[in-house]
């Protein structure tokens, strides 16, 4: 079974590439983030033609997550149970479903903006709500994983130059402690194996030739429980999909399971 996660940075802008990628890779379930469209604008018909069902949590031109599956979609939960609001709004940042033999969450963790910003406190509260929401599934016997754009680099090895991020979001002790709390619930980081480079980054800013210079970050993560991680045969970043005109600033992270 092939499962992937991808921050597409607008599904409308990325649709031709997305459809071609699904056809060429044979992905069974794809967790999407930053769809940037309302639910009624989501291209469900085009995906259905390829054999995929869709579960969508999206409200407009910001945020938005989805699960698209050709392995089934059951017991869909839209939103983060117990999740915090930001400025009075419950943002569309989480969706979960059972896809054949696995239970999956697609999440788009708040960016945090700046450490002194209200959005940073919101980010930490959101991650704590995520920990509580996934605890029972993580402890179960069914293969289970949380995939998505966490907007946190787990270690200094996951940032191209840690010194440049000192005092900034994505690398603070509190954010990394939130990931550690997820691991304490029985989830492990399914780290992609290196392909072209030693550091399997997943995000490269569009500016300053960051991608050609491989000045990136690993912030798109897969956190799985023991039944999930023991089934992993391979995991890698599809760096080729970050190349060329019209690419997202994130690359897909692919996990192959023997189930």
151 labelled binding-site residue = yes
Contact 185, 134 (CB under 8 A): yes
Contact 214, 227 (CB under 8 A): no
Domain contains 212: yes
- In CATH, what number is assigned to the domain containing residue 217? 3.60.10.10
As a whole number of angstroms, the distance between CA 74 and CA 100 comes to 8
Q: What is the pLDDT along the chain (259 residues), one digit of tens a residue?
A: 999 999 999 999 999 999 999 999 999 999 999 999 999 999 999 999 999 999 999 998 899 999 999 999 999 999 999 999 999 999 999 999 999 999 999 999 999 999 999 999 999 999 999 999 999 999 999 999 999 999 999 999 999 999 999 999 999 999 999 999 999 999 999 999 988 788 899 999 999 999 999 999 999 999 999 999 999 999 999 999 999 999 999 999 999 999 9
Domain contains 7: yes
Domain contains 259: no
Q: How far does Cα 61 stand from its chain's mean position?
A: 18
Respond yes or no: is residue 199 known to be catalytic.
Answer: no
**pLDDT tens, 18-68?**
999 999 999 999 999 999 999 999 999 999 999 999 999 999 889 999 999
What is the number of structural domains in the chain?
1
Respond yes or no: is residue 120 known to be catalytic.
Answer: no
Domain contains 126: yes
Respond yes or no: is residue 250 known to be catalytic.
Answer: yes
Could you give the count of Cα atoms lying within 13 Å of 45 in the half-sphere of its Cβ?
Answer: 2
Domain contains 68: yes
C-alpha separations of 172 from 29, 213, 216 in Å: 31, 24, 17
As a whole number of angstroms, the distance between CA 235 and CA 253 comes to 7
214 labelled binding-site residue = no
Domain contains 258: no
Residue given tokens 């191209």 in the structure block: 160
**pLDDT tens, 86-105?**
999 999 999 999 999 999 99
Domain contains 249: yes
Range of the domain at 32: 2-253
9 labelled binding-site residue = no
Domain contains 138: yes
């Amino acid at each position: 079974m092939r499962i992937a996660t991808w921050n597409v940075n607008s599904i409308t802008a990325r649709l031709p590439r997305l459809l071609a990628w699904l056809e060429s890779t044979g992905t069974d379930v794809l967790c999407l983030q930053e769809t940037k469209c309302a639910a009624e604008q989501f291209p469900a018909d085009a995906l259905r033609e390829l054999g995929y069902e869709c579960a969508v949590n999206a409200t407009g031109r910001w945020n938005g997550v989805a699960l698209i599956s050709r392995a089934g979609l059951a017991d869909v939960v839209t939103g983060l149970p117990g999740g915090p609001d930001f400025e009075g709004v419950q943002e569309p940042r989480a969706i979960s479903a059972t896809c054949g033999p696995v239970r999956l969450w697609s999440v788009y963790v708040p960016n945090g903006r700046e450490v002194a910003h209200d959005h940073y406190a919101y980010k930490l509260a959101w991650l704590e709500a995520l920990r509580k929401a996934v605890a029972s599934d993580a402890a179960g016997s069914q293969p289970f994983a949380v995939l998505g754009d966490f907007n946190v680099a787990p270690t200094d090895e996951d940032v191209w130059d840690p010194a440049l991020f000192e005092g900034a979001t994505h690398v603070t002790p509190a954010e990394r402690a939130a990931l550690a709390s997820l691991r304490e619930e029985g989830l492990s980081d399914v780290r992609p194996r290196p392909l072209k480079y030693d550091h399997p980054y997943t995000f490269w800013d569009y500016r300053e030739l960051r991608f050609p210079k491989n000045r990136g970050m690993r912030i798109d993560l897969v956190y799985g429980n023991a039944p999930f991680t023991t089934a992993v045969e391979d995991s890698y970043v599809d760096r080729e999909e970050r190349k060329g005109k019209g690419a997202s600033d994130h690359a897909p992270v692919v996990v192959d399971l023997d189930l």
